[in-house]
Amino acid sequence: MSLILKSGDPLLDATATELSKLVRAKDISPIELMERTLARVEKLQEELNAFITIISEIAIDQAKQAEIDIMAGKCLGPLHGLPFVVKDLTPTKGVRTTMGSRLFSEHIPSEDAVPVARLRRAGAIMIGKTTTSEFGHKPFTEGPLFGRTLNPYDFGVTCGGSSGGSAVAVASHQVALALGSDGGGSIRIPAACCGLVGLKATLGVVPNLGSPDLFSTNSYIGPITRSIEDADLLFRQISGFDSRDPYGQSPAEYKGSQNRSINQLRVAWLPTVGNSEIDGECLSAAQDCVYRLQEKGAIVEQVEIDFVALETAFLVILESTLFARLAQRIDNESDKIDPTLITTLDNGARWTALDLQNAGIERTRCFQEIQFLFEKYDLMISPTLAAPPLPVDLDPHSEVVINGRKVGGIRGAWYPYTYPFNLTGHPALTFPNGHTSAGLPLGVQLVGPWYSENLLFHVAASLCVGDSYGL
């Protein structure tokens, strides 16, 4: 067991919301904050390995400019001078974006992804690119390009993935703000494994133009933070209309008042979703939140739904998409590719056009089923994962063991609660609620109708109490 969390430095242990107030009040200098941040990154990089690229000199120069702007009395953005990190699947102008792959080890984009550009406009300063499994193909964070990223709670278990580097950087207090991306749970899984808050927003609310087929996309960019308040703050900077995103066409206000009373809510409780096993401590963490909702007056009813049945459709979409992207490079450069990705690509090559069309039909069916539930319920609540963080050296293509039983593939067995909402577009938020007897974090997930992010933040904040709320 290893535990590398709080730094002991009040600046590094503060939330982004607190830091923003201190910077704007001139109580701290962006230069001092950046220097301490980079010192923490340098100290932990060899041990935790959360970064693929660190841009210290650029970050210091930008912190100096941020200081000049403050002293000149210029109008400051809400994140002025605050360090942030970006998962290395997300394009960043002038800074290499490797996709976690040796195939793209020197790839330098010509423009920022929309959320990155928006954070820069808000005054935040990027300090580097964080680790990810190669092309985000698995829920662990390791690969031939950079090695393995370790969970700051315990080196023997995974930090999750594929946004593991972002989660580890936040959990170990290297930064307060991180962007991850989520194609099946890749924000929420590492957030749950590292005791953090992670949001996959409504499809299109945070523009993500990286997919070659935006009309069938199931990938999202979103925040990973140590508090609900910070996740809300970051979400508000990166969300909003963009004409280039086919699902981001509505500039309408988001639904879900932050002041909505809990006792007005009807909540669907999903303890299982077709999975045959769930770890007792994961179940108890979510049940505790159910009890608190009921104490606050919410009407909670258990609902039966089978998300595991959607696993094949999800795999058809994931594996065929990756194969289409990399088919031209497999024969000549397979030695550069993670062996677990090779297996995924081989699977992708076997799917047919009929399989892909049937997967789309299943995606539609699941969307309609969830929409039907939201005619009766305002929210869904579930565990984020069916088991605590898995062993760090587990083969992601092997069977998962929960409660001493082999229970199938990793998606349907470990994270059946997350990937369906990538296909249906509904917003999903994970937040920490306690720890296992071994000291590992436990996550709880809230899901709402499209555009209900405000409601998710409000309810999650009402459920976070004491030491279970962030780090």
Q: Per DSSP, what are the bridge partners of residue 147?
A: 143
More confident residue, 149 or 468: 149
User: What would the pLDDT profile of 344-393 be if each residue is shown by its tens digit?
Assistant: 999 999 999 999 999 999 999 999 999 999 999 999 999 999 999 999 99
379/267 Cα distance (integer angstroms): 5
Q: Counting runs of H as helices and runs of E as strands, what totals does the chain give?
A: 15, 15
22 by DSSP, 3-state: which? helix
Using an 8 Å Cβ cutoff, are 451 and 202 in contact?
Answer: yes
Residue 84 reports pLDDT greater than 70: yes
Using an 8 Å Cβ cutoff, are 283 and 383 in contact?
Answer: yes
Confidence of residue 64 (pLDDT cuts 50, 70, 90): very high
User: What would the pLDDT profile of 199-241 be if each residue is shown by its tens digit?
Assistant: 999 999 999 999 889 999 999 999 999 999 999 999 999 999 9
Confidence of residue 467 (pLDDT cuts 50, 70, 90): very low
Confidence of residue 248 (pLDDT cuts 50, 70, 90): confident
For residue 136, which of 190, 199, 216, 212 has the smallest C-alpha distance? 190
Phi, psi at 395, each rounded to 5°: -75, 120
Report the pLDDT value the prediction gives residue 255, as an integer from 0 to 100. Answer: 47
Residue 48 reports pLDDT greater than 90: yes
Confidence of residue 75 (pLDDT cuts 50, 70, 90): confident
Confidence of residue 254 (pLDDT cuts 50, 70, 90): low
Report the pLDDT value the prediction gives residue 330, as an integer from 0 to 100. Answer: 87
| Helix ranges restricted to H, 100-152 | 114-121
Confidence of residue 268 (pLDDT cuts 50, 70, 90): very high
Report the pLDDT value the prediction gives residue 465, as an integer from 0 to 100. Answer: 62
Residue numbers annotated as active site: 87, 162, 186
Mean pLDDT of 159-182: 98
Using an 8 Å Cβ cutoff, are 154 and 5 in contact?
Answer: no
Percent of all residues in the chain with a pLDDT value above 90, rounded to a whole number:
92
HSE of 394 in the Cβ direction (CA atoms, 13 Å)?
22
Residues with Cβ < 8 Å from 358, sequence gap 6 or more?
313, 316
Residues with Cβ < 8 Å from 286, sequence gap 6 or more?
271, 381, 382, 383, 433, 444, 445
93/418 Cα distance (integer angstroms): 30
Confidence of residue 469 (pLDDT cuts 50, 70, 90): very low
* Predicted TM-score of the model (pTM): 0.97
Buried b (16+ CB within 10 A) or exposed e, 129-147: bbbbbbbbbbbbbbbebbe
Mean pLDDT of 122-127: 98
Mean pLDDT of 163-167: 98
Residue keyed to tokens 């703050």:
233
Using an 8 Å Cβ cutoff, are 447 and 428 in contact?
Answer: yes
180: left (phi over 0), alpha (psi -120 to 50) or beta: beta
CA distances from 332 to 136, 158, 327, 328, 329 (A): 21, 31, 10, 8, 6
Residue 144 reports pLDDT greater than 80: yes
Q: Per DSSP, what are the bridge partners of residue 445?
A: 382, 430
87/179 Cα distance (integer angstroms): 6
Strand ranges for 266-423 from DSSP E: 266-269, 299-302, 379-383, 401-402, 405-406
User: What would the pLDDT profile of 284-339 be if each residue is shown by its tens digit?
Assistant: 999 999 999 999 999 999 999 999 999 999 999 999 999 999 998 988 899 999 99
Buried b (16+ CB within 10 A) or exposed e, 301-335: eebebebbbbbbbbbbbbbbbbbeebeeeeeeeee
Mean pLDDT of 16-25: 96
Mean pLDDT of 164-193: 98
105 by DSSP, 3-state: which? coil
Mean pLDDT of 109-123: 98
Report the pLDDT value the prediction gives residue 3, as an integer from 0 to 100. Answer: 80
The domains located in the chain, with CATH, are 10-238 (3.90.1300.10), 262-468 (3.90.1300.10)
Report the pLDDT value the prediction gives residue 468, as an integer from 0 to 100. Answer: 39
Residue 29 reports pLDDT greater than 90: yes
Residue 251 reports pLDDT greater than 70: no
User: What would the pLDDT profile of 383-435 be if each residue is shown by its tens digit?
Assistant: 999 999 999 999 999 999 999 999 999 999 999 999 999 999 999 999 999 99
Please give the mean pLDDT across all residues of the chain: 95
